[in-house]
A and B are shown apart, each in its own frame.
Chain A
Amino acid sequence: MKKLLLGNEAIARGVYEAGAKVASAYPGTPSTEITEYIAKYDDIYSEWAPNEKVALEVAIGASVAGARACCAMKHVGLNVAADPLFTASYTGVNGGLVIFVADDPGMHSSQNEQDTRIIAMGAKVPVLEPSDSSECKKFTKKAFEISEKFDTPVIVRLTTRVAHSQCLVELEDREEVELKPYVKDISKYVMMPGMAKKRHPIVVERMKNLAEYAENSDLNRIEWGDTKIGVITSGISYQYAREAFGDVSYLKLGMVHPLPEKLIKEFAGRVEKLYVIEELEPFIENYCHKMGIKVIGKELLPVIGEYNASLIKEKVFGIKEEKPNNIEENVPLRPPVLCPGCPHRGTYYVLKKLKLTVSGDIGCYTLGAVAPLNSVDTTVCMGASIGMSHGIEKARGKDAARKTVAVIGDSTFIHSGITGLINIVYNKGTSTVIILDNSITGMTGHQDNPTTGYTIKGEPTKQVDLKKLCEAIGIERVRICDPFDLEEFEKVVKEEVSVDEPSVIIAQRPCALLKSVKHSDPLSIDMNKCKMCRMCMRLGCPAIVDRGDHLEINTALCVGCDLCSKVCRFDAIEKAGVSNE
């Protein structure tokens, strides 16, 4: 039976069919749905881990214990998991171990556009790269086989367009794979210098064997066409290249690390002009150059952003599409915004009012950086808000600390904020950290986490008590406050930034998109009372609209959160239907 599956869904299906038993992950766009779909299969144990490092360690443990295991993450998640990855490469596996990593060229939802192939090269692990959902499933199963055959973790690299495109996939049955026996073997699984020195040559030898395998594997294939032009490509770039070049010859690589030297040479020798089409870094291209093969790639095509067929046509053949119409218009941008009723809006309104420097983090609340909230000063990576606020204090002194706060989401705090907070306590910092506790992992689309009290399957579980956790590491001032109680919240923030010790404010209010959050009737503006001071506009609520001569509330968007009526000094905002209009 053929079914239309998202790339991520096809990966999950592949994990299921491959007989895997354990999956652990931390959510991150564009990888999140892999684990969400895996969780629908009861034959596979699945979980959300607090971060990618833990997720990979869980998968490594399951593999050593004899099960086929996997974990999924976005590209920057692999940085967090790099530590176990580089050494799991040395230990190798017992049950097959596969790591799904989704890169985000074009940065639809990311803070950088790093290329996972580069990390894989450093870690000396093979990388498979599917071009569509069908290959997502096929390559996933292949990855487990390769992992066991060559005693190595295997990375399956996706990009946003593969992860988030639906294509037809033929479904097959699950293959039941028995647990392999676990045999204690410290020379393989205890990586201290004496053992690791013996493992490294094995890893180097393994890469040679994998390169040999790549020469004959059906993961790599040549599609012969006109030999005037040859194109070496992989992943989604293959699809764009097929449309841009048409009936030429292709070397389509499904295994992008290690690369098949002989196959590339053979292909190069039979075509007149050779192009390499790959998004992001010149990975395949540099390899060709190293072999002395002349290829055209990044001299024409960018290392930045996503490709498409028109871009390739334009850069390679100089064909530029004319603008198809006469409509000349400045189209205002539509950047993402905090939703109506979002709890973060209250927090940022207060922080901006107090003119604080805000060390920010990764999540929906990063949107507090842009107009009109203009509140967040910095965002680097998961957890960085806390470490950076401490750095600001150590560079500029306690006066700076009194004008600075760190903001971090509940899930991000557990992911990697807690260590930064321990550092502050230990090193006598006085930072104020605001944990934006909205009871869910928001940006990636509502995943549970250790603070929500539910597992990935929705089963009740122990819930991390953020207040007790902070107290346990030595924070003596932990305050819990509703960010929509603007007066109280402002008072608490003022008090905590001014004290000469570290403090944590837990800004507690659930995400407005949670099903458990009941919305009220929409509000409206009574223009008889409105003085057009536009205080409400400073909240940056998408439901409040400035019509020039008057302000109005879009009742289709308003969730009746009441925040705007709290900032209105003229009592002009009330429940719809109450006003005189």
Chain B
Amino acid sequence: MNNRSIMIVGVGGQGTLLTSRILGDVAVNRGLDVKVSEVHGMSQRGGSVVTYVKMGEKIYSPIVEKNEADILLCFEQLEALRWIDYAKKDGAVIVNTQMIDPMPVITGSAKYPENIIEKIKENYPNTISVPALEMAKACGSVKAVNVVMIGVMARRTGIDREIWLNAIKKIIKPQFVDMNIKAFNMGYEFEEVK
């Protein structure tokens, strides 16, 4: 099966756009049709951001809809919960354990839901939670969270590791490549302690 729908969800500023660029490059290298849809502007100012990546023989709509995502890559817990309906029941749900309070929670008008990852796991057996922030820190920069997450995802796509590494080398600025390869590898090797 070459058709694959991936959604990347997170909070504006977490580096989801770079993630989609790397994913797009990987898909192009496999000779597939690709569409990547992202939203810029107002919604990026610390708001909820979602990026769709679709690859396959022929792609029409650039957006992924409910129940369609083979992979839901979540950079933040609350965003995982917001978009969980978009994952296929047997899809891979990869959740960074990081929590970022949205303004309604900060101002006290809403509560940050509890035990999000447990609730998702009950419904999506193929869920994996990743302490990506801690892992990125261990690699030398909190900014590498996105590449750690790419590493975790990469192993679950069946796409050759080298293709991913080449995409990272191509897209990330030379001075940050070593650190990001470390982050990718750490993500790639990651096993969740059950």
Contact = CB atoms under 8 A, between A and B. Distances in A.
Interface of A: 2-4, 29-30, 32-33, 108-109, 132, 160-161, 164-168, 236, 238-240, 242-243, 308-310, 321, 323-327, 329-339, 364, 367, 370-372, 443-445, 537, 540, 542, 544-546, 554, 556-557
Given A332-B104, A364-B45, A546-B108, A4 B123 contact: no
Given A243-B60, A371-B109, A325 B85 contact: yes
A371 B112 CA distance: 17
Given A167-B34, A168-B34, A327-B81, A332 B40 contact: no
A336 B44 contact: yes
A239 B45 CA distance: 29
A367 B110 contact: no
B123 A326 contact: yes
A372 B107 CA distance: 7
Given A109-B42, A308-B61, A334 B79 contact: yes
B141 to A, nearest CB: 11
Contacts of A167: 34-36, 59, 62
B70 to A, nearest CB: 14
A371 B107 contact: yes
A329 B37 contact: no
A29 B102 contact: no
B3 interface: no
A334 B25 contact: no
Nearest to A332: B110
Interface in B105-120: 105-113, 119-120
B191 interface: no
Contact of B24 (A4, A334, A337, A370): A4
Contacts of A371: 103-104, 107, 109
Given A167-B62, A333-B104, A364-B45, 14 more contacts: A166-B36, A167-B59, A239-B61, A240-B61, A309-B65, A332-B112, A334-B11, A334-B47, A334-B78, A336-B44, A337-B46, A370-B103, A444-B41, A545-B101
B133 to A, nearest CB: 7
Contacts of A309: 61, 65
A335 B82 CA distance: 13
A329 B113 contact: yes
A315 B40 CA distance: 29
A333 B38 CA distance: 19
A443 B24 CA distance: 26
A161 B39 CA distance: 8
Contacts of B46: 334, 336-337, 339, 542
Given A334-B48, A336-B47, A443 B42 contact: yes
Contacts of B4: none
B36 A330 contact: no
B84 interface: yes
A485 B110 CA distance: 32
A325 B108 contact: no
B28 A4 contact: yes
Nearest to A2: B28
Residue of B12, B34, B39, B133 with highest tally of chain A CB at under 10 A: B39
Interface string B14-47: 0000001000110110000111111111111111
A242 B42 contact: no
B36 A165 contact: yes
A348 to B, nearest CB: 14
Nearest to B47: A336
Nearest to A331: B82
Contacts of B119: 327, 329
B107 A161 contact: no
B173 interface: no
A579 to B, nearest CB: 21
A240 B65 CA distance: 11
Contacts, number: 181
A363 to B, nearest CB: 10
Interface string B169-184: 0000000000000000
Contacts of B84: 325, 327
A166 B82 contact: no
B67 A168 contact: no
A333 to B, nearest CB: 6
B165 interface: no
Contacts of B81: 327, 329, 331
A321 B60 contact: no
A321 B61 contact: no
Contacts of A3: 28
A537 B107 contact: yes
A108 B41 contact: yes
Contact of B111 (A164, A332, A370): A332
Contacts of B60: 238-240, 242-243
B40 A556 contact: no
Nearest to A106: B39
Contacts of A108: 39, 41-43
B35 A132 contact: yes
Contacts of A545: 101, 106
B131 to A, nearest CB: 14
B190 interface: no
Contacts of A546: 105-108
Nearest to B62: A165
A545 B102 CA distance: 10
Closest 10 interchain pairs by CB?
A29-B41, A109-B41, A332-B110, A336-B47, A334-B102, A336-B45, A109-B42, A166-B36, A165-B62, A334-B48
A332 B42 contact: no
B106 A542 contact: yes
Contact of B101 (A164, A239, A242, A542): A542
27 contacts: A4-B36, A108-B43, A160-B39, A165-B36, A165-B38, A166-B36, A167-B35, A236-B62, A243-B60, A321-B65, A324-B66, A324-B85, A327-B123, A329-B81, A333-B48, A333-B104, A334-B78, A334-B103, A335-B47, A336-B43, A336-B45, A336-B46, A337-B45, A339-B13, A443-B45, A542-B103, A554-B101
Contact of A443 (B41, B48, B82, B87): B41
Nearest to A544: B106
A166 B78 contact: no
Contacts of A537: 106-108
A325 B113 contact: no
B37 A109 contact: no
A324 B63 contact: no
Given A164-B40, A331-B82, A372-B107, A310 B24 contact: no
A161 B63 contact: yes
Residue of B41, B62, B67, B82 with highest tally of chain A CB at under 10 A: B41
B41 A30 contact: yes
B159 interface: no
